[in-house]
Structure 1
Amino acid sequence: MRRALAGLTTRGRSFVAAGATAIVCAFILGERDLLRAGVLVLVLPLLCTLAVSRTRYRLACARRLDPPRLPVGQEARVDLRLENVSRLPSGLLMVEDRVPYALGGRARFVLDRIEPHGKRELGYRIRSDVRGRYRVGPLTVRLADPFGMVELVRSFSLSDRLTVTPTIVPLPHERLAGAWKGGGDSIARAVSAAGEDDVTPREYRHGDDLRRVHWRSTARHGELMVRREEQHFQSSGTLFLDTRRTAHWGDGMAGSFEQAVSATASIGVHLVRTGMNLRYVTDAGEALQAASADGGFEGLLLDTLAVARRSKGGSLSPGLAALRGRIGKARDGDGLVIAVFGVLSGEEARSVAAVRRRAGTCVAVLVEGTGGNAARQDGAETGTASAQAAGLLRAGGWRVVIIRSAAELAGAWAQAGQAGEDFVRDGS
């Protein structure tokens, strides 16, 4: 009852104050009619409070996000199901699902009545122009009397997470020259050149094609032997993102950091979907261990980039150390490194250039950004710094592309592939 009294609305409090005032005035003036009116006005909100506080029906709530992960600027649908699991009909319900302001604000509904064991389906849409991970819910239900005197708020504990990922730019279905090593076709050619006797056989297994039986090995071992299937080696690579605050400028979606995050997400998704085994590294070191599409790397990468923020660190050393370790372990240069940077100084560019070893394929994407006050004030200086850094990286054997926004990445990707072909033709 005390909780219900605390839930009196402005109208309810006004009735209580008016009723009490009328009763006091009735005693002072000796007016019985005024006393009756005062008692009626005072008792009405109290009766409503008693009725609402004794409400015994129970509600169950379920929520579904479709999809639970979406790129910036796209919409997701939220479906709510509210069920009255008691034997009593509900009264007037005001339902509100708590939604962050970045997703569009409040979602409110008014339900007149839910019959016993009845259900109500509700739905609304949300979208965000800012990447991140947002909490949707919990659902709150306001119980009110028909006169609007009392409102009690009851909240469910259920909430869901919506992940808004960076914008994904589709890239051409072209493999970077030199980035993929040891495919199945090359193995087949090597076997053909070496001769059938050099084939390593294995024991026959139920279901093997009899046309692959290796008769010489069968005679030698005294049991049925078959040629091994072609070994398709899965290439691996490293995706690097420079998150240092000092390397990026501009705010909002036009800033260089947001464009760099979008470019990193686009490249990572593209490479994973082509079958590459990737890992993710930042200037602070390794953030995600190597995994493939089957290992859920795409979802992990997008979830990580959705909440990526600029770091306060000013050094690339931890990240470059992780790159050196990866390239040093690579066999004959096998492996691809795609690094996305903001602004690099001459010394930083030399450090990055020195990372490359052997014949590994290393591609640097320099992001200049397109907006913000810094773009108007330091655009020329940024362009000059990018050109100088690009020259130093190319001298170190890196392929370099410069973009102003992630939208230019598709053309730059084809440019990087063409640069690789020229690199191979020149024999550098």
Structure 2
Amino acid sequence: MTALWPFTLRGTGAVLLAAASFLIAQRAGIPELLYFGTLLVALLGASAVVLLLTRAAGAVTRVVSPDVPEVGGPATVVVRAGIRSALPTAPGRWRDILPAGLSGHAEGVSPAAAASLTGTGGAIEVRYDVVGASRGIHALGPFEVTTTDPFGLLRRRIALGRTTSVTVAPTVRELTALPPASGEAGGTRQTTTLQLGQGADNLVARPYAPGDSMRRIHWRASAHRDMLMVRQEEQESSPAATVVLDRAVSRWSPMATHAAGSDPAFETAVTACVSAMARLVHEGYTVDVIDSDGSLLADPVAGGDDVEARATAAGFAALRARPDDESRRIVPASASALMGPVVVITGGLQADDRASLGAVAQRSALPVLLVVADDVELGRLRAGGWRAGHVVPGGDIAAAWDDAIEGGYARVDR
């Protein structure tokens, strides 16, 4: 009703009063009421002319901080828009149209606009908070301003500027550290040499992160930096690890091929993928993220580069499922030769799918399998050598990771 009816509450009263004046003047023969009604109509007409002279001035700029929010993560949006009016306008309302991928309260009171016959106009600057609701690239806007005339009789809604693309990245969950056993720490690049026993210069300190052992705290560096620091040995090269995200649509809903955020199971798998990658990078592995057909989904991330791991996760914002290939493999053939940690994330498994997983688990130092499905039998997978975990769509990825890492195949008599 507000969008179709241009009059404010005061303006609606003026319209009804003018109509009543004309009606009573005609019935009762009171010319003064006719003059009064005519004056109200003229006032309404003048208000409409003033509103027509109010228009946008310049482009709308938006600054989103952080520029790539995560699903469930907060962000602040600062909007600056120009308004030009021939006469001063009263305070109005502003609203920024939020897409389905963002949630928040993006509306409020806009300040009064001063007369700007010089053409420079005034500017409106507003700030509001949003939360990432679903992964993807979303169009934020347009920015709408509802202005009223100086008498407050009529309102006009103006759409300013264009939309702004906002990328919402998958959430990177904090996962527990990998097992400390030395046999599970190596990768394909076994030429890694720890520079030990050659002086303190070969030890570097980095900020403490969840999962680091308290035994590795570097007290001198912590006192110097006024924050917890841990010891990390310099390495000539990083061991390698691989994360496989099975994007074959047969393991997901067909909606996963249409748009990001459409299939809850696939969204959980993407979150598990970027979380596992971030964990392995933090552990010092150089990580390749590949599809089940063997294609790279992102450039390799160097070990220890947590910032690059977050940036790589942002590149998965628009990732979708794909049609099946002929082989229907869950793990590409090239991964069978890998000796370092291999983390595989897949969906609902069939009997023939389980049979194709055995060779990889026998060679990898740390074979981890996360199955995103409503129900799955993990006994046979663990018996085949996998540290297997199960997570329902939208479920707790960290708990499934713990179940796989800490239990895995250890529960099965081998």
TM-score norm. by structure 2 comes to: 0.67
Matched ranges for 1:200-239 at <5 A: 232-239=236-243
CA distance in 2, matches of 1:173, 1:388: 23
Give the corresponding residue for 1:51: 50
CA distance in 1, matches of 2:327, 2:98: 38
Root-mean-square deviation (CA, aligned residues, Å) is 4.4
Greater Rg over alpha carbons, structure? 1
Match status 1:79 vs 2:84: no
Match status 1:8 vs 2:16: no
Give the corresponding residue for 1:203: none
Q: How many Å apart are 1:387 and its aligned residue?
A: 1.8
Equivalent position SS for 1:151: strand
Give the corresponding residue for 1:197: none
Contact 1:60 1:84 in 2 (8 A): no
Matched ranges for 1:22-61 at <5 A: 22-23=21-22, 26=25, 30-55=29-54, 58=57, 61=60
Letter in 1 for 2:380: Q
Letter in 2 for 1:241: L
CA distance in 1, matches of 2:86, 2:265: 59
Q: How many Å apart are 1:90 and its aligned residue?
A: 5.5
Residues 248-283 of structure 1: CA distance to partner in whole angstroms, max 9, x if unpaired? 69xx99965444333222111122344433332334
Match status 1:317 vs 2:328: yes
Contact 1:174 1:417 in 2 (8 A): no
Contact 1:78 1:125 in 2 (8 A): yes
Q: Which moved more, 1:97-106 or 1:136-145?
A: 97-106
Matched ranges for 1:13-412 at <5 A: 15=14, 19=18, 22-23=21-22, 26=25, 30-55=29-54, 58=57, 61-82=60-81, 91-101=90-100, 103-114=102-113, 121-145=125-149, 146-172=151-177, 176-179=184-187, 181-185=189-193, 232-244=236-248, 247=251, 257-283=266-292, 286=295, 288-293=297-302, 298-299=309-310, 301-309=312-320, 313=324, 317=328, 320=331, 323-325=332-334, 327=336, 333=338, 335-354=340-359, 359-361=363-365, 363-367=367-371, 375=374, 379=375, 382=376, 385-391=377-383, 393-394=384-385, 399-404=386-391, 405-409=396-400, 411-412=402-403
TM-score norm. by structure 1 comes to: 0.65
Distance 1:136 1:178, change over 3 A: same
CA distance in 2, matches of 1:93, 1:10: 11
Letter in 2 for 1:387: G
Give the corresponding residue for 1:193: none
Contact 1:20 1:42 in 2 (8 A): no
Distance 1:188 1:105, change over 3 A: closer
CA distance in 2, matches of 1:53, 1:21: 27
Q: How many Å apart are 1:156 and its aligned residue?
A: 1.4
Letter in 2 for 1:9: F
Q: How many Å apart are 1:163 and its aligned residue?
A: 0.9
Q: How many Å apart are 1:36 and its aligned residue?
A: 1.1
Q: Which moved more, 1:151-160 or 1:79-88?
A: 79-88
Q: Which runs of 5+ in 1 are unaligned?
A: 1-5, 190-229, 370-374, 420-425
Contact 1:64 1:79 in 2 (8 A): yes
Distance 1:325 1:181, change over 3 A: closer
CA distance in 2, matches of 1:25, 1:314: 81
Contact 2:101 2:168 in 1 (8 A): no
Contact 2:12 2:153 in 1 (8 A): no
CA distance in 2, matches of 1:167, 1:309: 18
Q: How many Å apart are 1:113 and its aligned residue?
A: 2.0
CA distance in 1, matches of 2:48, 2:263: 54
Contact 1:181 1:334 in 2 (8 A): no
Residues 206-247 of structure 1: CA distance to partner in whole angstroms, max 9, x if unpaired? xxxxxxxxxxxxxxxxxxxxxxxx992343333112345654
CA distance in 2, matches of 1:41, 1:163: 52
Q: Which runs of 5+ in 2 are unaligned?
A: 198-233, 254-260
Q: How many Å apart are 1:284 and its aligned residue?
A: 5.7
Equivalent position SS for 1:143: strand
Q: How many Å apart are 1:79 and its aligned residue?
A: 2.4
CA distance in 1, matches of 2:397, 2:89: 53
Give the corresponding residue for 1:201: none
Q: How many Å apart are 1:310 and its aligned residue?
A: 5.5
Residues 135-180 of structure 1: CA distance to partner in whole angstroms, max 9, x if unpaired? 3323222222141413141321252404142241233165733335
Contact 2:8 2:153 in 1 (8 A): no
Letter in 2 for 1:70: P
CA distance in 2, matches of 1:416, 1:112: 60
CA distance in 2, matches of 1:299, 1:74: 13
Equivalent position SS for 2:38: helix
Identity %: 21
Q: Which moved more, 1:344-353 or 1:74-83?
A: 74-83
Contact 1:367 1:402 in 2 (8 A): yes
Q: How many Å apart are 1:47 and its aligned residue?
A: 0.6
Distance 1:105 1:184, change over 3 A: closer
Counting helix residues as a fraction of each chain, which structure ranks higher? 1
Q: How many Å apart are 1:183 and its aligned residue?
A: 3.8
